[in-house]
Structure 1
Amino acid sequence: MFITSTTMANRAPTTIVDVATILPVEIMLAETFSTRDLYCNFISTIDDTIRFLATRRLLSNSKECDNCHIAMSLTRRASISDGKQWTCKECRKNVSIRAGSFFQNSKLKLTQILDIVYGWAREHPQNEAARDAKLGEGSTHTIVDWYNFCRDITEQHLVDNPTQVGGFDENTLLSKTVEIDESKFFHPKYHRGQWREGHWVFGGIERGSGNCFLVEVPDRTENTLTPIIERYVLPGTIIISDGWRAYRNINQIGGGIYEHEVITHEENFVNPDDPTIHTQNVENMWMRAKRKLKRQCGTSEALFTSYLHEFIWRNKFKSRDIFSALLVCVREQYPV
C-alpha cells in the first residue's frame, strides 16, 4: 500500500514508498532478477511497478509544487496509463509521476518499458522484446529506439567513469599485468561478399579482473597508440604485447613508467622460458567482441562504435546482474 503520514490519514499520500525502503546503489548492484521473479514479484501490476521504480530512485518518491512550494499528493487517475499523478491540494496542479525521470517522454506503459529494458539487458532479439512488451505490429522503430537508449546509457556511463587498467595491486603492491593488441573488425569481404573498409581497434585487458578498454583507431602507428596507452593504462603496469613496431618504445613512455614484455608470435604464442608472457587473454577478448559485434552490426555498421562501447560496459559489469547494473546507471544519469 502507498504510505500516508499520521497527520494526513484521510488524505492522499505524499510519498510513493516509505523513505526507509529506498535502496542504496550498493544494494541495487547486488540484486539479481530472473524473468519469473521480476514479473511475479515486482512488476505484476502498475502499482507494483511504480513502487519498484520509486524504491530504486527511478521515479521521484515525492514532489513539491512549483507554485505553492508544498508537498504534492499522490492521487489516482484512471484515464492515464500510470493510474496515478502528483496533485497539489492548494492550486490543483497535476504533474506526471514520470516528471524528470528516464521514462518522462515515452507514451509506453512503465511495465512495457521495463519489459524492453529487461530484454536489452538479457540480449533478447528485438522481435522477442516487442512480443514480451505486447507492442503489437508496427513497433520496430519503438524497439530499436529503446535499445539505442539503453546503449546511450552505457556509453554515458563510460564517459562519466573512464576505464583505467593496470597499476599496482592494492593488497600485494605488485604490478598488475595488462595485455595489449590491435585487431581489425569486419575485413574487406564480410557478410555475403560486400566490401567493407573495416575498423581497426586497439585494446587491452587486465589479467585477473578482466577489465578492458577498446578504442577505434585510424591507424596503428606509435603516435596513435602511445597516447591511448598513457590514458588507459596506469603507471607501474607490466604491459605484454606482440612484436608490432609501434610498441617498441613502451618502456620509455613517461620516463619508464611501464615494464614491457614482448612475445614474438612468429616464434611462439607463449614464451617457453616464461609461460606468463603471452597475449592469450587479449586474443580471447577479440574473439568475444567480434562474435558479438558481428551479430549486432550485420545491418547497421554505422553503430559500430556504440556496440563497441556496449561490449566494454557489459564486460565491466560481467560479475553483476546486467539488468540491475543498467538500472543503477539510469538512476545515476536521471536523478529524481
Structure 2
Amino acid sequence: MTSVWKLCNKIVNKLMDRKDILYEKWSSPELCVVLGESGMCIEWLAKRGLIKNSRLCSVCGEPASLLECAQIIDGYRWECNLQECNFRKSIRSESFFDGRDLPLRTIIVVMHYWCEDLQNETVTQLGVSEEDSADICNVIREEFEKNQRRAGAIGGIDENFQPVIVEIGESYFFRGEHRQSQQPEGHWVFGGIERLENGAVGKRFLVAVPNCAADTLQDEILRHILPGSNIISDGWAAYGNIPHIANGIYTHSFMGAENNLVDPNNRELHTQNIEMMLMRAKRKMNRHVGSSRESFALHLQDYVFRSQIRPSRYLFESLLMVIVDKYTI
C-alpha cells in the first residue's frame, strides 16, 4: 500500500473561508477537469470542508494517515499508523457523501447539473442511471427542506423596531388538463414572503397544506411567521381571525377587492410579491403536481431555495454551504 499523502495526517494545509467558497463560480467543464483524478477530487472536497481534512484514530487517539487503497471506490482511506489498532475509516464518513455508492466526482457533478436545472443531462452525458440521479436530486431537496426548517420563521420586528411586512397567499396547484365535471387532482399551497425597503423582498416560505380552512392556515401562520409581523393578505375569509391569533401577536391589513393585487385606495396595500411567487412556483411545479404529497413538498422546497439565491449563478456554491453547515466536519 502506497500513499500520495504518505504518513500525512492532513489532506490540505488550509481550508477555504466561507465567503471564498460562496463566491466561487464553477462551470460543469471546469469541475470535470479539477475533479478529474481521485486525489484531486479529495483535495477539492477537503479544502471546502465537505469531507474531514484530518482524523484521529479512535483506538489510540493519534492522527491517522490517508493511505491509498485500490479496493475501495474512493481509492483512499484513513488508517492508523499502528497496525495493532486496526483502525480504518472511509474519507466519506460523517459527511454528506456517506453511504452513497457513486464516485465522489460523479456526485459533485450531478449536484452542479441539478443547480443548472439539467437533471436529465446527468443520464445522457454522465452515464448515471436515472435511479441514481433521482436519488441524489431527492437528497438535495431533503437538505433544502431541513435548511428551511433550520432557517426558522420569517417576519417579526426589524432593527428599527418596526414590524416587518409579510405578504401571504394561497393557491391550488393542479395540472391544466382535466374534465370540467371533475375536481382536478392537485395540492393546496400556502406561502408568505417578506417585503423589504425599495421594493426588495426577503425570506419566504411555501408549504403544501391539506386545505385552506381558517384553522389550517392559522397553524401555518404561527409556525412560519414571527410575532410582531404586519401581515398583508387578500380578502379570503379564512384570514379574518389573524388579528386575534394568540391574543393579537400580529397586525393585519387586507384588500377589500379580492380580485385586485393592489388596493386602489392604498398603493402600499398589495400582495403582488406573494402572488408572483405562487404563479412562478405553479409554472415550475406543474410536472410534479400529480406526485405524492411528500414528493411534492420536496420539490416545493427545491423551488423556494432556488428562488432565494440571487444572483442564481451562485446556486451551486450556496448548495455547498448548506451541506457544510449541516455536516460540521
TM-score range, shorter chain: 0.7 to 0.9
How far apart are 1:124 and its partner, in Å? 0.8
Match of 2:155 among 157, 166, 174: 166
Q: Distance in 2 between matches of 1:125 and 1:194?
A: 33
Work out whether 1:206 is the aligned partner of 2:194: yes
* Aligned-partner residue type, residue 305 of structure 2: W
CA contact (8 A) 1:3 1:17 kept: no
Q: Distance in 2 between matches of 1:114 and 1:229?
A: 37
For the residue of structure 2 that corresponds to 1:211, the secondary structure is strand
How far apart are 1:182 and its partner, in Å? 1.1
Deviations 1:229-284, CA, capped at 9 Å, x for gaps: 22222233222111111112222333333332221335643222211111111110
CA contact (8 A) 2:119 2:133 kept: no
For the residue of structure 2 that corresponds to 1:98, the secondary structure is coil
Work out whether 1:13 is the aligned partner of 2:3: no
For the residue of structure 1 that corresponds to 2:267, the secondary structure is coil
Report the TM-score when normalising by structure 2.
Answer: 0.86
How far apart are 1:183 and its partner, in Å? 0.7
State the partner residue of 1:131: 124
State the partner residue of 1:186: 174
State the partner residue of 1:278: 270
Work out whether 1:288 is the aligned partner of 2:280: yes
Match of 2:82 among 87, 90, 95: 90
How far apart are 1:113 and its partner, in Å? 0.9
- The alpha-carbon distance between structure 1 residues 273 and 243, as it changes in their structure 2 partners (threshold 3 A), is same
Q: How does 1:1-336 map to 2 (within 5 A)?
A: 11-18=6-13, 21-40=14-33, 42-91=34-83, 93-126=87-120, 128-135=121-128, 139-162=129-152, 164-170=153-159, 172-186=160-174, 189-190=177-178, 196-207=184-195, 208-266=200-258, 268-297=260-289, 303-319=295-311, 321-336=314-329
- The alpha-carbon distance between structure 1 residues 278 and 22, as it changes in their structure 2 partners (threshold 3 A), is same
Q: Distance in 1 between matches of 2:93 and 2:182?
A: 46
* Aligned-partner residue type, residue 164 of structure 2: K
- The alpha-carbon distance between structure 1 residues 268 and 64, as it changes in their structure 2 partners (threshold 3 A), is closer
In structure 2, the gaps of 5 or more residues are none
Q: Distance in 1 between matches of 2:327 and 2:248?
A: 42
Q: Distance in 1 between matches of 2:207 and 2:163?
A: 23
How far apart are 1:15 and its partner, in Å? 0.8
Overall identity of the aligned pairs, in %: 36
Deviations 1:179-237, CA, capped at 9 Å, x for gaps: 1111101168559x997432111111111334212222222222221232222222332
- The alpha-carbon distance between structure 1 residues 30 and 275, as it changes in their structure 2 partners (threshold 3 A), is same
Report the TM-score when normalising by structure 1.
Answer: 0.84
Q: Distance in 2 between matches of 1:212 and 1:304?
A: 18
How far apart are 1:315 and its partner, in Å? 2.8
CA contact (8 A) 1:115 1:132 kept: no
- The alpha-carbon distance between structure 1 residues 308 and 88, as it changes in their structure 2 partners (threshold 3 A), is same
Q: Distance in 1 between matches of 2:229 and 2:131?
A: 45
* Aligned-partner residue type, residue 100 of structure 1: E
How far apart are 1:330 and its partner, in Å? 1.9
The number of residue pairs the alignment matches comes to 319
Q: Distance in 2 between matches of 1:81 and 1:269?
A: 55
- The alpha-carbon distance between structure 1 residues 3 and 161, as it changes in their structure 2 partners (threshold 3 A), is farther
* Aligned-partner residue type, residue 220 of structure 1: C
State the partner residue of 1:7: none
In structure 1, the gaps of 5 or more residues are 5-10
Q: Distance in 2 between matches of 1:81 and 1:165?
A: 43
Deviations 1:100-155, CA, capped at 9 Å, x for gaps: 222222232111111111111221133x01234333xxx12111111111112112
Question: Which stretch shows the higher mean deviation, 207-216 or 240-249?
Answer: 207-216
How far apart are 1:51 and its partner, in Å? 0.8
How far apart are 1:317 and its partner, in Å? 3.4
CA contact (8 A) 2:68 2:77 kept: yes
Q: Distance in 1 between matches of 2:203 and 2:26?
A: 24
